[in-house]
Amino acid sequence: MSETDTARRGLLGLGAGLALAAVPAAAAAQQAGGRPPPARTMLSATTFGASGDGAADDTAALQAALDAAFRPGGPGFLLIPPGLYRITRTIRVATGGGAEGNIVRHSGISAHGARLKSEIRDGSNVFEFISGTTTRFLLVEGLDIRGSGEDGHGVYLECEEWGKYLYNFCLRDVVIQGCGGDGCRMVGNVFEAQVINTYCRNNKGNGATFGHGFRKGILSSIHVFGCVFGENARHGVAMINKCYDVAFHGCYFLLNGKFGLVAENGCTLLSNCGFENNHQAAAGFESGDAGIALSNFGTLVGCTAYSIYNQTRLLRAYIVGQLVMVGCTGHGDKRAKGAGLAQIGGQKKRAGATIIGSTGKIEYVNGFEAIELAGTGGGARFGSDWRSASLVHIGEYRLWVDRHGNLRLKKGSPSADDDGKALAMS
């Protein structure tokens, strides 16, 4: 998490706040001018000719329904009734047109029992929401997307415009499977949102991908609840392009071709998440890897890893900031009986790791050391190398073990292995 990212995120919040402050004034002006706000009605896709019989091509009808629901000043709600809808090209919501195109009240798509059967063969996405304005309070629920395997992403959400935002939205009760790209991809100024009870399975890319914009925009404050990311050809979830502020709660990552989760710039929080039998594409346990690949920083609470195939541990991490693990476990059976908890490396002087009440083998690389409390072996373990960020602190003093096995003490941080005073000989 860089100072630049923090500053940019603050500016985004300020801009959003100013935009929202203008909404009541605009509404008052409309009422003063005698123009009532548009009616809040729910359109139905059937009104526009969508049949949902699994035989007709419903692409044009669904697109017409989306255009009507999300036009500037439109009702903003669309019902897609239960049925099987054949899709032969991307269906898209693309907001624009300046302030008139802003959507700053509740809007959404309700599609419980509706399946979109993609017959797209040119790599195009199935459903897109491209925000060229400010969009708030969007709800997409109940949608079931069955990909062709030759299409692109199942659900693609993007806002790559300065001063425009896609936030306070919710994606829930959605199933996305069999797509040629990612199940779901969110990029740009996408933040303050929830993904709930969503299932991303058997896609040729990642189950889900979250990222800062490639042109513009910061993805931030995304919370993912009770979702499953399984059997995807690449990763269960990938956090890309330096994003980090996504939190996962009670999610499960299993049987993916590679990692359950890749967080290349850190991950705000993983709580009560499970990682099972990932790295299905590996030749065997010896060439497998962890459920999570993490760089920079992260917090894990109550997370578990289990393997009987190729997943070797819960976490592989290189830490530059801080890593905290509380109540986590990692183990395996059968050919994965050697599976453990974590492999951790990092910058010795700058980074730190604290592992509390967690079980499973921990391997440290590059001389990195963590503080371990009440772990597999009980008691407490601190760093012993003079360069470790996890040395024992007693007031202003530091304790470490030098290369000869001597316990050494110094007031302040040591500057060399033989600094301070030797207290005992090995």
Task: Write out pLDDT tens, residues 244-284.
Answer: 999 999 999 999 999 999 999 999 999 999 999 999 999 99
- Please report the pLDDT score of residue 390 as a whole number: 64
- The tokens of 58 are what? 């419903």
In a domain, 425, yes or no: yes
- Please report the pLDDT score of residue 384 as a whole number: 67
Mean pLDDT of all residues in 328-338:
97
- Judged against a pLDDT cut of 50, whether residue 1 lies above it is answered with no
In a domain, 121, yes or no: no
CA-closest candidate to residue 21, choices 129, 162, 134, 159: 134
- Please report the pLDDT score of residue 393 as a whole number: 64
In a domain, 9, yes or no: no
Mean pLDDT of all residues in 7-32:
40
- Please report the pLDDT score of residue 33 as a whole number: 43
- Please report the pLDDT score of residue 280 as a whole number: 98
In a domain, 328, yes or no: no
- Please report the pLDDT score of residue 99 as a whole number: 74
- Please report the pLDDT score of residue 21 as a whole number: 38
Mean pLDDT of all residues in 395-412:
79
Mean pLDDT of all residues in 218-242:
98
- Please report the pLDDT score of residue 412 as a whole number: 83
Mean pLDDT of all residues in 302-313:
98
Residues of the chain above pLDDT 90, percent: 70
In a domain, 419, yes or no: yes
- Judged against a pLDDT cut of 50, whether residue 25 lies above it is answered with no
In a domain, 420, yes or no: yes
Residue 425 domain boundaries: 392-426
**Phi, psi of 292, deg, nearest 5:** -125, 130
Question: 120-124: long-range contacts (C-beta < 8 A, 24 or more apart)?
Answer: 120/87, 120/88, 120/89, 120/90, 120/148, 120/150, 120/151, 120/152, 121/148, 121/150, 121/151, 122/150, 122/151, 123/150, 123/151, 123/152, 123/180, 123/181, 124/89, 124/90, 124/151, 124/152
Band (pLDDT 50/70/90 cuts) for residue 9 is: very low
Mean pLDDT of all residues in 103-119:
94
- Judged against a pLDDT cut of 70, whether residue 314 lies above it is answered with yes
- Please report the pLDDT score of residue 375 as a whole number: 63
Band (pLDDT 50/70/90 cuts) for residue 424 is: low
**Phi, psi of 97, deg, nearest 5:** 85, 25
- Judged against a pLDDT cut of 50, whether residue 7 lies above it is answered with no
Band (pLDDT 50/70/90 cuts) for residue 415 is: confident
Mean pLDDT of all residues in 199-207:
98
Whether residue 269 contacts residue 293, with contact meaning beta carbons closer than 8 Å, is answered with no
- Please report the pLDDT score of residue 223 as a whole number: 98
Tens of pLDDT, residues 367-380: 898 889 976 666 67
Residue type, 176: I
Query: What is the average pLDDT score of the chain?
Result: 88
How many domains would you assign to the chain? 1
Mean pLDDT of all residues in 110-115:
98
Whether residue 73 contacts residue 106, with contact meaning beta carbons closer than 8 Å, is answered with no
Band (pLDDT 50/70/90 cuts) for residue 416 is: confident
Which of 102-111, 193-202, 213-222, 267-276 is predicted least confidently?
102-111
Give 287's DSSP letter. Answer: G
- Please report the pLDDT score of residue 247 as a whole number: 98
In a domain, 414, yes or no: yes
In a domain, 410, yes or no: yes
Mean pLDDT of all residues in 373-397:
70
- Please report the pLDDT score of residue 399 as a whole number: 73
